[in-house]
Amino acid sequence: MTASNTWRVGILFSTSGVTSIIEKSQLNGTLLAIDEINSAGGVQGKMIEPVIYDPGSVVKQYGELAETLIVEDKVNVIFGCYMSSSRKEVLPVVERRNALFFYPTLYEGFEYSPNVMYGGATPNQNSVPLAKYLMETHGNRIYFVGSDYIYPRESNRVMRNVIRQGGGEVLGEEYVPLNAGIPKFKSIVEDILRKKPDAIFSTVVGQGCINFYTAYYKAGGRGLDCPIASLTANEAEIAEIGAAAAVGHITAAPYFRSINSDANRKFLTRYEKKFGTTLDVTSCCEAAYSQMHMFASALQDCGGMDTDAMRDALLGMNFQAPQGEIKIDPDNNHTHLQSRIAIVNQEGEFTIRSKVRHMIKPDPYLVYPQINDWSLQLQKVIGG
Amino acid sequence: MSNFIRNLRELNVAVMHPRDKNAEELIRQIHRIGCGHEAIWPIPSKMPKNVDVLFVDVDETNPKQIKPLLNKMKGDPPAIIAIIDYENPSVLEGLFDIGAHAVLTKPLRATGVMSAILMARRIWSENKTLRKDLDKARARVDNIQKLNDAKFILMRHRGINDKDAYAIIRKQAMAKRTTTLEIAHSIINADGILSDLGNE
């Protein structure tokens, strides 16, 4: 490390390309946290200085820019990535250089690296509660639609197992390219309307998600009759889809902008002050925000960016996040998170319908989740 | 989905490796995967019971200790995953000696542990099935051979054909409530004794 007057950290979120909507919100969450830390005097008197690159939603770029950040910009800590494929590009780089990498996104699990802090939900924290909710509320005939990469396929495997345990049936399983436009969904939507499932489970991400919801609405599909349930459709995407087309659709996530709590209201007020709007605040944005704060707190403890010391400080750390209490699991580097189910209302805002009582321990290597796991018992939420 | 993957968490995994950073990393990953686990070191004089998968540190000399340990186990030995530091011929020969089903190289990392467990377990299980089938097939060939010998004896003595010879053996087996194989044994033995008598 060169002696400098700031703590330099690398940031790799795309502000252009197919996943830019969600990654911009992650970038904003990160920048808000940096602002808060710096305006409170920084860490041990030094400011945090972000070095930001735009990988343009191009998978290979993430790995190359991670290398650039470490070699040329001399940073030792990187925040970034949305898609699993981009994380897999960064992983070997941070392992080889023994850097620390914060990944604030839900993903499919089955990974552990001592160099990564995983801030998003694993399937046991969101898929299982969502499957349970769908079957209890809507029925057990489900149709799967996903983007064609590893996360949707693995999510669907988990979902299929849980639905079968509940005596349910998967009516169809379709995959579309990441950049799929509205016409691409035509035949899928027709098939859905013909088969009349009780609900649709969507793992279509990014721009494709907006196109899919729009295509479904245009063809006559209504969320209030047969909802699309997703783990990734978030506030920013619902805003693009519009309230009319989005109403009734369901999302499971640790955080929603509409959470009715002091911590969340304060977070949103500061966010609005910095960015002028809270329209694009999402669970991935909140995860990015929390990870930056946890990093700063570990840095305060260590007084330097040595990876091994930082890791020790981070493992087991608790944080009062906008979603509620979270904690980094000392065994697997993933995060204990809250779990909520919400429905889009007439105004295009998520109304939270149910949540688990306590944060759920991440279990990234769970092959076969049990639908009757008592720790995932949902409770009704009244009044959001 | 394959049962090997589905039932992963039911496995008991033992790690026979000096207590160092490699062993610690490995045990932690086994814990994350969610298998039961225990650490063993130094190489004991007797294998613990109920181990399904054994990770074992293999160098150029210790297969001499490991091999007898596995050989004297009652029941099935576990699926074996060797952990090696050097990839040279003496160490690799050791992998064959102890019958390793998979290999990991040092320095150990989390990635690869799950695949190694699954591959080792699958090959172990396939070997077990094949061995059982082979034993069965061998016994069967042996039995057919014996039955043929007995039939030839009867055919020679009685001047009858193959079909009638078999009918006699079968009838005898039913009358004595035993198997055709037993009867075939008796015929072969009797023939042996009788021909020995003739030679004295």
Quote the domain boundaries for residue B66: 3-110
Q: Per-residue pLDDT tens for B28-50?
A: 999 999 999 999 999 999 999 89
Lowest-pLDDT range of A193-197, A271-275, A368-372, B116-120: A368-372
Whether B121 maps to a domain, the answer reads: no
Q: What is the number of residues in chain A?
A: 384
Q: Per-residue pLDDT tens for A19-42?
A: 898 999 999 999 999 999 999 999
Pairwise CB contact (< 8 Å): A111 & B6: no
Residues B75 and B21 in one domain: yes
CATH superfamily of A6-120+260-336: Response regulator (3.40.50.2300)
Q: Per-residue pLDDT tens for A331-341?
A: 999 999 999 99
Whether B125 maps to a domain, the answer reads: no
Judged against a pLDDT cut of 70, whether residue B75 lies above it is answered with: yes
Average pLDDT score over residue span B67-88: 92
Q: What is the domain partition of chain A in residue ranges? A: 6-120+260-336, 123-257+339-380
Residue of B nearest to A362 (CA): B32
- In angstroms, rounded to a whole number, what is the distance separating the alpha carbons of residues A131 and B143? 57
Q: How many domains, chain B?
A: 2
Residues B72 and B168 in one domain: no
Whether B127 maps to a domain, the answer reads: no
Q: Residue B164's domain is classified under what CATH number? A: 1.10.10.10
Judged against a pLDDT cut of 80, whether residue B13 lies above it is answered with: yes
Instruction: Characterize the bridge pairing of strands A324-328 and A335-336.
Output: antiparallel
Whether B130 maps to a domain, the answer reads: no
Measured between CB atoms, which of A111, A112, A367 is closest to B5? A367
Model confidence, pTM:
0.86
Whether B178 maps to a domain, the answer reads: yes
Residues B87 and B164 in one domain: no
The residue whose two tokens read 């070699």 is A71
- In angstroms, rounded to a whole number, what is the distance separating the alpha carbons of residues A111 and A126? 17
Judged against a pLDDT cut of 80, whether residue B199 lies above it is answered with: no
pLDDT at A156: 93
CATH superfamily of A123-257+339-380: Response regulator (3.40.50.2300)
Percentage above 90 pLDDT, chain A: 86
Do A6-120+260-336 and A123-257+339-380 have matching folds? yes
A57 SS3 class: coil
Binding-face residues of B in 109-148 toward A, CB within 8 A: 109-111, 114
Judged against a pLDDT cut of 50, whether residue B78 lies above it is answered with: yes
Residues B24 and B74 in one domain: yes
Judged against a pLDDT cut of 70, whether residue A383 lies above it is answered with: no
pLDDT band at B87 (very low <50, low <70, confident <90, very high): very high
**Residue A111 forms contact with B (CB below 8 Å):** yes
Of B163, B58, B48, B67, give the one whose Cα is nearest residue B103.
Answer: B58
Q: Per-residue pLDDT tens for A91-150?
A: 999 999 999 999 999 999 999 999 999 999 999 999 989 999 999 999 999 999 999 988
Of A59, A62, A37, A61, give the one whose Cα is nearest residue A47.
Answer: A37
Whether B92 maps to a domain, the answer reads: yes
Per the prediction, chain A carries an average pLDDT of 93
Judged against a pLDDT cut of 70, whether residue A3 lies above it is answered with: no
Judged against a pLDDT cut of 50, whether residue A1 lies above it is answered with: no
pLDDT at A273: 97
To the nearest whole angstrom, how far is the Cα of A211 from the nearest Cα of chain B?
A: 32
Residues B54 and B8 in one domain: yes
Q: Per-residue pLDDT tens for A57-102?
A: 999 999 999 999 999 999 999 999 999 999 999 999 999 999 999 9
